[in-house]
Amino acid sequence: MIKYTNDPEILSGLEMEGFFVGWPNPPSVEVFRKLLKGSYRVVLAYKDNKLIGFINSISDGVLSAYIPLLEVIPEYQGKGIGQELVKQIKIELKHLYMVDLLCDGDLIPYYEKLGMMKAQGVCLRNYDRQSGE
């Protein structure tokens, strides 16, 4: 059975492999654990002792938050886990005025179905820093 939690302290007991597929410079498990524990809010999906999905946010805690990452490992994709993670993080962030998320254009319909609206944005990517090390 898949369980969900907003407690990053359980990460120390979970296997955290299989994420960041296709990233040219993925973070190590140590950096991955650090970024989740340092987030403003997280929601984790796990089964047995394995992390299978997560969503995180960073925030000023007053008006705004940004959702930088939502990921479900490939063998669990298409099972509604990502939708549940978005649903739960929206609850965690409901006290804030704005919650922003940047994504590739082909993912916009996915997020629109989950109650988010299309917006304009710009970004800067330093892929040589993608590993976080």
* Per-residue pLDDT, 133: 82
CA distance 30 to 14: 12
0.85 exceeded by the pTM? Answer: yes
* Per-residue pLDDT, 82: 98
* Per-residue pLDDT, 99: 97
Q: Where are the alpha helices (DSSP H) in 57-126?
A: 81-92, 108-113
How many residues are given for the chain? 133
CA distance 92 to 13: 23
- Supply the DSSP symbol for 79: S
Q: Into which CATH architecture does domain 3-119 fall?
A: 3-Layer(aba) Sandwich (3.40)
Domain boundaries defined on the chain: 3-119
* Per-residue pLDDT, 29: 95
Assign residue 79 a region (left: φ > 0; alpha: ψ between -120 and 50; beta: otherwise): alpha
- Spans of the chain below 50 pLDDT: none
